[in-house]
A = this chain, B = another copy of it.
Amino acid sequence: MSTPPDQRQYHHGDLRTALLTAADRSVRAHGVAQLSLRDLAREIGVSHAAPRRHFPDRQSLLDALAENGYTRLGERIRAAVASGDDGFAPRLRRAASAFAHFATENPALLELMNAAKHRPGDSPVSRSADTAFAPLVDLIREGQDRHVLRAGPFEEIGLILYATMNGIATLINNGLVDATRLDDLTAAAVNQFLRGAAPHG
């Protein structure tokens, strides 16, 4: 009844997912530039043109990866923030740390997320990016509500924090800064963010 185990079926079943999985692994191992659609097809065992049914071109595969990345990043930040009912500062630190580790554990993905040419207005990618921003912005707003942060444009402030963490991860991922400094830099960035570099009044 059932097809012989090692006989290739005409239809793969879930090629799209298989492609994304294989692409993620390939990109992780060899970098974005090396990713080849034909390679993926070979690895999965389908013809070289099969991926085209799911991703019209190379970039759309990369976009899907990036989108997925933003989603996972958002979840991770959310989880970090929610993983304890302690004070504001510890939660902020956990959020920053979550970002930092996600970004350095997935260097190629971060590159993809940053490089995905986000069209004006809303593409799926930039919408998922907003989803990743959100928990950070929410956290800032909460800090302001609790008067642990000065009042101010929370979206802008969240953006700056996000940018800082993104920048740190970029420096580390490209070897401009030693990876062992990740946690120190993250902690220092959060401190900097909270109390500033100038001496107090």
Q: Which residues of A contact B (CB under 8 A)?
A: 111, 114-120, 126, 129, 140, 143, 147-150, 152-153, 156-157, 159-160, 162-168, 170-171, 174-177, 184-185, 188-189, 192-201
Contact = CB atoms under 8 A, between A and B. Distances in A.
B163 A117 contact: no
Given A160-B164, A201-B200, A176 B111 contact: no
Contacts of A148: 198-199
A199 B147 CA distance: 8
Given A149-B197, A163-B164, A157 B188 contact: yes
The interface residues of chain A, by DSSP majority, are classed as helix
9 contacts: A118-B175, A157-B188, A159-B168, A159-B171, A159-B177, A160-B188, A163-B185, A196-B196, A200-B201
A117 B162 contact: no
* Complex A-B, nearest 3 residue pairs according to Cβ-Cβ distance, in ascending order: A163-B167, A196-B196, A167-B167
A162 B167 contact: yes
Nearest to A59: B33
